[in-house]
């Protein structure tokens, strides 16, 4: 959410990895940021001018960010090509180490990234090539009441089930507020019920003082129902408390990343492999179909040529005064018939051409799985 400290958190984990001699590859997807405290290897601002987009399309801030992301998403194949290349050893420069971690800083308006088509394309593109983990950063001091806590949990739940990727809840600003209360609420239903009752008694939900408390009772019942619903959701999450200011909890965060990476390989990778295999089968069927169509067209063309030659010979017999074919023209006539060996060679060359990858016939795997949604 806005103000939760995402950029500061990015700066902290970036500095942490550099300190560990494991420099990450950093992507900035926020086109509206004016100053970045870290150096990005791939920056959306290098490709898209946010202010120009707003002026040209007459958009507000959120519309400008969404349109900028949509424009950047058209370059997703180029971005993935760069990342995949950097993740492999460089034969021209053996001293260059392949990247081990990629950090992606998303726009401050979470709605723009999560609910736009471009955000989905970018995430699925990354997940199609690398184990991908979502870190949902929460402002701990601002989520200390049961109502704001539940709002954050519902938002995290919607992101998890929309993106279908492993998620870590990062309770940031632990130096200002100890996040242990949130961990307790997620694991101990009775502790959350006690906090909920305390909020109701203190009129935290905006009930009318001295009234019957109907509004407060409605909110309490709603939050209670949602907490029951989210009990299963909590079991699939890793929760860490960090302080981006002081650097505490970063070790625990990367331990959670390693855990979720293994979860990705175990639970998410098989599905991606299945869809990749399905895509390859579809590509092969399409190639065979195009090859059969091409060969059919060639046969039709040969038939038309033979008929034209036959008509020409018939005309020569019927019209005595028609000019005769010269010796050179006879040779051309003989060349019209395609030798069977040449036909097989042409078919082989065409098959080989159909097997080669190209930008037009071989779209990225991420675009394929997005088209199947």
pLDDT in tens, 187-234: 888 899 899 888 888 876 665 444 444 445 677 888 888 888 888 888
Is residue 161 packed enough to be buried (19+ CB in 10 Å), middle (13-18) or exposed (0-12)? Answer: exposed
pTM exceeding 0.85: no
Question: Is residue 134 predicted with pLDDT exceeding 90?
Answer: yes
Sequence ranges of the domains in the chain? 6-202+235-257
User: From the CA atom positions of the chain, what is the Rg in Å?
Assistant: 31
Q: Identify the bridge partners of residue 104 per DSSP, sorted by sequence position.
A: 27
Per DSSP, the three-state class of 240 is: strand
Superfamily name with CATH number, domain 6-202+235-257: P-loop containing nucleotide triphosphate hydrolases (3.40.50.300)
Which position has the higher pLDDT, 289 or 60? 60
Query: Would you say 1 and 152 are in contact if contact means Cβ atoms under 8 Å apart?
Result: yes
Looking at residue 111, what is its pLDDT?
75
Which residue carries 């017999």 as its tokens? 317
Looking at residue 226, what is its pLDDT?
85
Looking at residue 351, what is its pLDDT?
56
Quick one: tokens of 64? Answer: 């400008």
Which position has the higher pLDDT, 94 or 366? 94
User: Which percentage of the chain shows pLDDT scores above 70?
Assistant: 75
Backbone φ, ψ for residue 27 (5° rounding): -120, 135
10-36 mean pLDDT: 93
The mean-pLDDT minimum among 112-121, 184-193, 303-312 falls in 303-312
Quick one: tokens of 272? Answer: 């991606």
Band (324; pLDDT cuts 50, 70, 90): very low
CA pair distance 185, 223, nearest whole angstrom: 13
CA pair distance 197, 64, nearest whole angstrom: 43
The mean-pLDDT minimum among 39-48, 117-126, 321-330, 339-348 falls in 321-330
Per DSSP, the three-state class of 116 is: coil
Task: For residue 365, give the nearest of 285, 309, 282, 308 by alpha carbon.
Answer: 282
Looking at residue 248, what is its pLDDT?
95
CA pair distance 335, 329, nearest whole angstrom: 10
| Residue count of the chain | 373
Band (309; pLDDT cuts 50, 70, 90): very low
Per DSSP, the three-state class of 295 is: helix
Q: Compute how many other C-beta atoms are within 10 angstroms of the C-beta atom of residue 199.
A: 17
């Amino acid at each position: 959410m806005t103000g939760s400290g995402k950029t500061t958190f990015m700066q902290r984990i970036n500095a942490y990895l550099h300190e560990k001699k494991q420099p990450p590859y950093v992507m900035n997807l926020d086109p509206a940021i004016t100053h970045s405290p870290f150096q990005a290897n791939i920056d959306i601002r290098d490709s898209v001018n946010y202010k120009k987009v707003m002026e040209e399309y007459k958009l507000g801030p959120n519309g400008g960010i969404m349109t900028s992301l949509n424009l950047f998403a058209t370059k997703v194949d180029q971005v993935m090509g760069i990342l995949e290349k950097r993740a492999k050893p460089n034969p021209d420069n053996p001293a260059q180490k392949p990247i081990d971690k990629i950090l992606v800083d998303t726009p401050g308006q979470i709605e723009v990234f999560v609910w736009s088509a471009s955000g989905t394309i970018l995430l699925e593109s990354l997940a199609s090539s690398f184990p991908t983990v979502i870190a949902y950063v929460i402002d701990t001091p601002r989520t200390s009441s049961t109502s704001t806590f539940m709002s954050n949990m519902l938002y995290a739940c919607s992101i998890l089930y929309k993106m279908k990727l492993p998620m870590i809840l990062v309770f940031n600003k632990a130096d200002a507020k100890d996040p242990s209360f949130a961990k307790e609420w997620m694991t101990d239903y009775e502790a959350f019920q006690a906090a909920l009752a305390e909020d109701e008694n203190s009129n935290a939900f905006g009930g009318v003082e001295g009234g019957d408390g109907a509004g407060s009772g409605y909110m309490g019942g709603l939050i209670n129902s949602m907490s029951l619903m989210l009990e299963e959701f909590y079991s699939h999450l890793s929760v860490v408390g960090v302080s981006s200011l002081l650097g505490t909890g970063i070790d625990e965060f990367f331990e959670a990343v390693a855990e979720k990476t293994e979860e990705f390989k175990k639970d998410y990778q098989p599905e991606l492999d299945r869809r990749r295999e399905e895509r390859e089968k579809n590509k092969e069927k399409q190639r065979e179909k195009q090859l059969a169509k091409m060969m059919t067209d060639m046969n039709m063309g040969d038939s038309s040529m033979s008929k034209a030659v036959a008509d020409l010979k018939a005309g020569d017999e019927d019209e005595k005064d028609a000019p005769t074919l010269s010796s050179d023209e006879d040779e051309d006539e003989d060349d019209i018939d395609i030798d069977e060996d040449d036909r097989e060679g042409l078919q082989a060359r065409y098959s080989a051409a159909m097997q080669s990858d190209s930008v037009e016939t071989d779209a990225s795997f991420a675009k394929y799985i997005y088209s199947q949604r």
